Amino acid sequence: MLNSFVIAFEAVVPMFILVGIGMLVRKSGLITKDENRKFNKIAFKVFFSALMFNSIYSNGIDKAVNYRLMLYGIIAVLTVYILTTIFVLRVESSNPTRGSLIQAIYRSNFVIMGLPIVSSISGAGELAGAALMIAVIIPIYNIVAILTLEYYGGGKANLKDMMIKLAKNPMLEGALLGILSVVLGIKLPIFLEKLVSDMAAVAIPLTLVILGISFEFSQIKECGRNLFFAVVGRLIAVPAFALTAAALIGFRGADFVTLIAIFASPSAIASYTMAENMNCDGVLAGNSLIVSSLFSSITMFFWIFLFKSLGIF
């Protein structure tokens, strides 16, 4: 179990180092706030698009097909989203903040935090199933996030405008191109595969540095109870609901470990970039990412220890 804690801890530390680098960049005066916002847009429109494409193109959608696991993952994510939305609408009145709070709770950092956990507990041989879940869950995360942030960030419910913006969203475009390439069996030349892979690799480190540039400790107090709701919801309420249901349904072994990776990981890194670029509460999104990532090394250990002790895997 100590090894599980170390894995979770080691997944978090590089994130905080990159955020710290961003804070040092801000203090050195190398970049202005306006320039940082422009870099944020570049990360969102260019590098995250490449990341979405590459995550599907490189993993495929036909590896280790487990329809039962896929179906549960989809239903559980959508159920968590609906319950989260109902809760947030009751406790928060500001639409931009609603959008960010909903996203912070329902959407996890599955790829970055989750896959190392699966590899450590179940072995590298079980990563194919987890990779398939990336191809299934991540597009759902992104489509739902785009719809949510467009609705709450736009200030009005105009279905036509929302659908137009959805179609133009670079992250969705990247995901759809990835799915299209796999379905049609399109194979990129090696030099293009490397180019896309290199661009995808830039997305997360760049976003964390950008977050560090814009982050200020004083902003944590500004978020107040919403930050508490985001962290407790993401790290405690969501895994308690989704993992308990999975255990009762009968998921065991590597399948259950994959579900831990999906539902017990902290808030997604992309949530900050998307909130900032889609007129929602970027401060809350950024703080939710940082604080949930900090505490996840403890809560992840707790969930792993609990279900391991119960003989679930």
pLDDT at position 11? 65
pLDDT at position 131? 67
Q: At what angle do helices 218-232 and 67-91 cross, to 10 degrees?
A: 130
**Burial environment of residue 201 by CB neighbours within 10 A (0 to 12, 13 to 18, 19 or more):** middle
CB 281 within 8 A of CB 97: yes
pTM higher than 0.75, yes or no? yes
Q: Which of 292, 282, 238 is nearest to 264 (CA)?
A: 238
- List the domain boundaries for the chain: 1-310
Q: Which of 254, 256, 260, 269 is nearest to 52 (CA)?
A: 269
pLDDT at position 115? 65
Digit-by-digit pLDDT tens for the chain (313 residues) are 566 667 666 766 787 888 899 999 989 999 888 898 899 889 888 998 898 788 778 866 555 568 899 999 999 999 999 999 999 999 999 999 999 999 999 999 887 776 667 767 776 556 667 767 877 888 899 889 988 998 998 755 566 766 776 677 787 788 789 888 888 889 999 999 999 999 988 988 898 899 889 877 777 887 889 999 999 999 999 999 999 999 999 999 989 999 999 999 999 988 998 898 889 999 999 999 989 988 887 898 889 889 988 989 8
Q: How far apart are CA 281 and CA 231, in angstroms?
A: 15
pLDDT at position 130? 73
Top CATH class, 1-310: mainly alpha
pLDDT at position 32? 87
pLDDT at position 8? 62
